[in-house]
Amino acid sequence: MLTGRRVVLGVSGGVAAYKAAYLARRLTERGAEVRVVTTASARAFVGDQTFAAITGHRVVDRLFGVEGSVSPHTELGRWADVVVIAPATAATIARLAHGLSEDALTATVLASRAPLVVAPAMHTEMWEHPATRRNVRRLEEDGVRVVAPGEGPLAGGDVGVGRMAEPEEIVEVICEVLGEGPLQGVSVLVTAGGTREPIDPVRFLGNRSSGKMGHAIAEEALRRGARVVLVTAADLASSPGIERIQVETAAEMEQAVASVQPDVAILAAAVADFRPKAPAADKISRTSGPPSIELEATPDILAGVVGRTPRPLVVGFAAETGSLDRAVRKAQEKGVDLLVANDVTEPGAGFAVDTNRVTIIWPDGRSEPWPLMPKSAVAARLLDLVEGLLGARTETVSSPSDDPAHPGDGR
């Protein structure tokens, strides 16, 4: 399956471009997120709206003047888990072999460290030409996976070798190239959003958390192959591959979290610290004057997860204003493996924005400030750390104690 994997589909100009639309459909059916980049000549065969309707994203067809993007080729290159070019014409293959970047497609390839899959399509004479064969060999030497064309009907009524491989075959090659994600077999629990604690049937105590950070983490964990359970109080969309539990209050979130036994728990939700002790059964009337609302503490969900046996790897979050000293104490006192803290008063790092500036805090008090970056990038970098911690745990479990009288207990 390709659930959560990010595929950049490059389409160059050739009659086989119509197959690229089928390929985009097959990839989305497998759960992949697909973004299409085309050459100018590809648009003569298949219109942008076709790909946009299939993938849900606008097509990138130029290097400059793309709405909402300063550098589309670098953004796509960094975003991709794999880049696939289907069909790849002789001209596109030549550009790739020589490292040219004169259009959005070839520039995206050069700007990406993701694996590259190429599905050639052209007339037999072009496919068998020494220059094309030389360029294909060079790509293969560079580690490019070439899905060889088959024999069959070609443009203009010709028949021969050069017909682009069928979409189903290309999908299987993509699956093989991507392999299992680094978190394959790992269960990840993520909490997100701000809880709402009822005052009466109309009003509530809440906070300004949008849930964007938690949702970004859940999506990134899914992309890496994890089995993801997202307990969220937010209204944001989530990928079909994520098991979602919708909640509203801290009590509902506590109950949902208790029902999951994960390997990793990333608690990014902004859970209310207090709630009305006795919510009114009916709407409180203004004519009665300002009500007196007695508050009580909500359950400490983080402490509950840390105290489990067996204990998952736990990442906590702390939204602060100004100094992060309280976050450092929280990391030490709560017993988490990592704490992600941010000052929500900083520009670009508060609520309901797509960026964040966080500081990673370890239980021993060490801290690492990260620069302002998209929340998706924060999620990716955080899960890199999680993977490292999981690896260290595995090594600890598999390494026996040096003291033969006290063998390792696997913790």
pLDDT, tens digit, 9 for 90 and up, residues 354-381: 999 999 999 998 999 999 999 999 999 9
pLDDT in tens, 87-124: 999 999 999 999 999 899 999 999 999 999 999 999 99
Report how far residue 263's alpha carbon sits from residue 265's, in angstroms, rounded to the nearest whole number.
7
Two structure tokens written together for 179: 């392999």
Q: Which of 135, 207, 342, 356 is catalytic?
A: 207
Beta carbons of 51 and 21 less than 8 angstroms apart: yes
pLDDT at 66: 80
Report how far residue 404's alpha carbon sits from residue 411's, in angstroms, rounded to the nearest whole number.
17
Report how far residue 144's alpha carbon sits from residue 170's, in angstroms, rounded to the nearest whole number.
14
| Phi then psi dihedrals of residue 148, to 5 deg | -60, 145
Beta carbons of 117 and 145 less than 8 angstroms apart: yes
DSSP-assigned letters across all residues of 304-318: HHHT-SSPPEEEEEE
Report how far residue 15's alpha carbon sits from residue 29's, in angstroms, rounded to the nearest whole number.
24
Please report, rounded to a whole number, the percentage of residues in the chain having pLDDT higher than 90.
79
Report how far residue 40's alpha carbon sits from residue 103's, in angstroms, rounded to the nearest whole number.
8
| Phi then psi dihedrals of residue 146, to 5 deg | -100, 120
pLDDT at 405: 43
Bridging pattern class, strands 338-343 and 355-356: unpaired
Domains of the chain from N-terminus onward:
6-178 (3.40.50.1950), 187-398 (3.40.50.10300)
Please tell me which residue, 399 or 263, carries the higher pLDDT value.
Answer: 263
Beta carbons of 117 and 144 less than 8 angstroms apart: yes
Q: What is the dihedral of CA 189, 193, 199, 203, to 10 degrees?
A: -150
Task: For the beta carbon of residue 242, count every other beta carbon within 10 angstroms.
Answer: 21
pLDDT tier at 396, thresholds 50, 70, 90: low
Q: Residue range 16-30: average pLDDT?
A: 95
Report how far residue 336's alpha carbon sits from residue 351's, in angstroms, rounded to the nearest whole number.
23
How confident is the prediction for the chain on average, in pLDDT?
92
Q: Which residue has the tokens 């938690």?
A: 214
Active-site residue 342, yes or no?
no
pLDDT at 411: 25
Report how far residue 213's alpha carbon sits from residue 332's, in angstroms, rounded to the nearest whole number.
23
Helices (H), 155-196: 167-178
Q: Whole-prediction pTM value?
A: 0.71
Please report, rounded to a whole number, the percentage of residues in the chain having pLDDT higher than 70.
96
pLDDT at 392: 84
pLDDT in tens, 237-262: 888 789 999 999 999 999 999 999 99
